[in-house]
Amino acid sequence: MAVPDPLDYDIHPKFGFVPENPARELPSYYYPWMTFTVNVQDYVHNRTIRDKIKELPLLDHAHLGDDVRLLRLAHCLLTGLAQCYIWVDGFEGVPEILPRQIAVPLKGVSDKLNYPPSPMYHTSSLCNWKLKDPDGPIVPKNVETIFTMNGGEKESNFMTSTLPYEFLATEGLFAVSDAQKAVLQGNGDNLAICLEKLKNCLQSLKKSLLVVRDGCDPEHFYHKIKPFAEGWDSPPFHKKNLKGIVFEGVSDEPIGCGPLTAAQTPTLPVFDAALGIKHTPEEERNRLLLRKAMPPAHVRFIIAVENGPSIKDFVESTKDPTCKDMYNSCIHAIKDFRSGHVQSVTSYGVIPGAKKARDSDDPEAIREMSKGNAELLGFLKGMRDSTGPTLD
């Protein structure tokens, strides 16, 4: 039974799932896109972005070649512009068609990367950062986005706020690999050391949730950022009997997708897989849907860990008290992190959403908002409660 090496799955030894040096600019041929992104906030604020996008030239994605860094940046920019086009007029104004100026190159770039032609946490956040001071450290105060949709420092802060989480998670990813090697070798002492590293990593991850609060308050997120992160298979589309948005010049079949969310990170699924954590069938179905918005190499890593040497089975069979204690501490740490995540989503989504629903004059909007918030909170609480069990 093979132990997957993270380095074989596009996982950086220092940055984990975050690309080390994302491209900041596209070649000169794509100058119209780059200059457009500089002014996109003005176009959104004065509601001219749809007309402006239709005035763009139709550019050929083939000039990007096979450069993954450039393709990822193009995916980030094009999905961001698509979101601006779709959501600029609010939930009542969703269009049926995405213009060919965005649709055609977005589909081409996505096919080249084997990514979905829709917003992804990977390209929108993990590939969307640069250092303000190139010679300075990679810390929140020295990091900003390359592209923002609705503009402003708070959006930049929010979109980059998960970078510390991903950086911290890196040690845990490699600890998982080392732990499975220890299982294969039958070495309980080494396994206990690896599980302690994973526990410490998980405890650090919960603390990293506080970074979001430092740079973006819940009200700003809910009213300025979240509306541009909605999916294309959502109540505003359903209300118009639409199954998604049609890509002009590509296909008459609509393309749907879920919302842009940090839940698309592969990090926690890897840890669940390593510890043998099983969730309810409904939760597992939702997790499989989230995988569709992850880079294929990272999904393969999750699957490889799932199919690798079982840490849980080894701990149960050896009866080693140190290994058992370390394993159980990892389970508790994941539960604790998920509790912190529930609190964060409650602050940033549920509470402002409930307030907006109360202030709304549209009863249907109230029902949809309340239902959506309840489902999200229920899913997260369910994931937390089904984490485990610990070993006796």
Binding-site members for heme b are 341
Contact at 8 Å (CB) between 62 and 106?
no
d(Cα 230, Cα 365) in Å, to the nearest integer? 15
Contact at 8 Å (CB) between 246 and 377?
no
d(Cα 65, Cα 60) in Å, to the nearest integer? 10
d(Cα 314, Cα 210) in Å, to the nearest integer? 35
Please spell the DSSP secondary structure of 9-56, one letter per residue: GT-BTTTBTS-SS------GGGHHHHHHHHHHHHHHHTT-HHHHHHTS
Residues linked to residue 97 through DSSP beta bridges, in sequence order: 246
Please state the φ and ψ torsions of residue 172, each to the nearest 5 degrees.
Answer: -65, -40
- Angle of helix 163-185 versus helix 267-275 axis, rounded to 10: 20
**Which tokens belong to 360?**
């709304």
Using DSSP bridges, classify how beta strands 246-247 and 97-98 pair: parallel, antiparallel or unpaired. parallel
Using DSSP bridges, classify how beta strands 246-247 and 143-144 pair: parallel, antiparallel or unpaired. unpaired
Q: What angle do CA 123, 273, 277 make, to 5 degrees?
A: 125
Q: What angle do CA 292, 293, 299 make, to 5 degrees?
A: 65
Residues linked to residue 247 through DSSP beta bridges, in sequence order: 98
The count of other CB atoms within 10 Å of the CB of residue 212 is 21
Q: Return binding residues.
A: 341
Three-class HEC string of 234-260: CHHHHCCCCCCEEECCCCCCCECCCCC
Question: In one letter, which amino acid is 180?
Answer: Q
Question: In one letter, which amino acid is 106?
Answer: L
